[in-house]
Amino acid sequence: MTTRLAWSSETVLIAPSVLSANFTDLGRDVAAVERGGADLIHIDVMDGHFVPNITIGQPVVRALKRIAACPLDVHLMIEEADRYVDDFVDAGADLLSVHVEVTPHLHRTIAHIKSQGVKAGAVLNPSTPVSSLLDIASDLDFVLVMSVNPGFSGQAFIRQALDKIRRVRDVLTQAGSSALIEIDGGINASNAQEAVDAGATILVAGKAIFGADNAETATQTLRAAASGVVRP
């Protein structure tokens, strides 16, 4: 039941992160953000090794695929990501991103993800240099810039990520790539426009949406903020 995704650098996409949702009623929370106009459902997969937390795996992705109208944006925060790419594709990932820090054969991994008909992304941690993308930029569908250290939701936004986004855009432009830039970590209505101005086109938000009283309204508020519109 996945809808077609408007994949363009001219369009800001909102990706609520279910890491901050109510896991006793994920279906209700996903339905709420979809009513609010979400474009993607962001799913953080953590293994307790690459990051100090354990979250969810393929069964939850598969369950969400059955109920979500939005494409599933699966972010693998795991070691040995190559071993699990096919499993998450089979479970229903529409976008799949892997960390450059733990993927020794990144070109091969990205090529394999794309061969499965899934959009492929590379992820940069806050301390990972943008130069790590130089030899892969032209092959990417998107780059995910972490604006917190990965592992937990609700962390404070690292403002240096804004300059990092600009440098990522420079690398992509020089490579002739139209890849989108995603930002994840501490995104809310107060910094969404700054992220977009810096060059981000996919905004991941967890606590700002699912931590609000009304996830549907919070999704609308974040989109309005990203568009420079002040909502009452």
Residue with tokens 């992304």: 121
Q: Can 44 be counted among the known catalytic residues?
A: yes
The total of other beta-carbon atoms located within 10 Å of residue 46's CB is 21
Q: Which of 47, 94, 141, 184 is catalytic?
A: 184
Radius of gyration of the chain (CA): 16
* C-alpha distance across the termini of the chain, in Å: 34
Q: What are the CA-CA distances from residue 187 to residues 44, 107, 151 (Å)?
A: 15, 29, 15
Q: Which of 39, 44, 73, 94 is catalytic?
A: 44
Q: Can 73 be counted among the known catalytic residues?
A: no
How far is the C-alpha of 147 from the C-alpha of 144, rounded, in Å?
Answer: 9
Q: For 134, left (φ over 0), alpha (ψ -120 to 50), or beta? A: alpha
Please spell the DSSP secondary structure of 152-221, one letter per residue. -SSPPP-THHHHHHHHHHHHHHHTT---EEEEESS--TTTHHHHHHHT--EEEESHHHHTSS-HHHHHHH
Q: Which residues are catalytic?
A: 44, 184
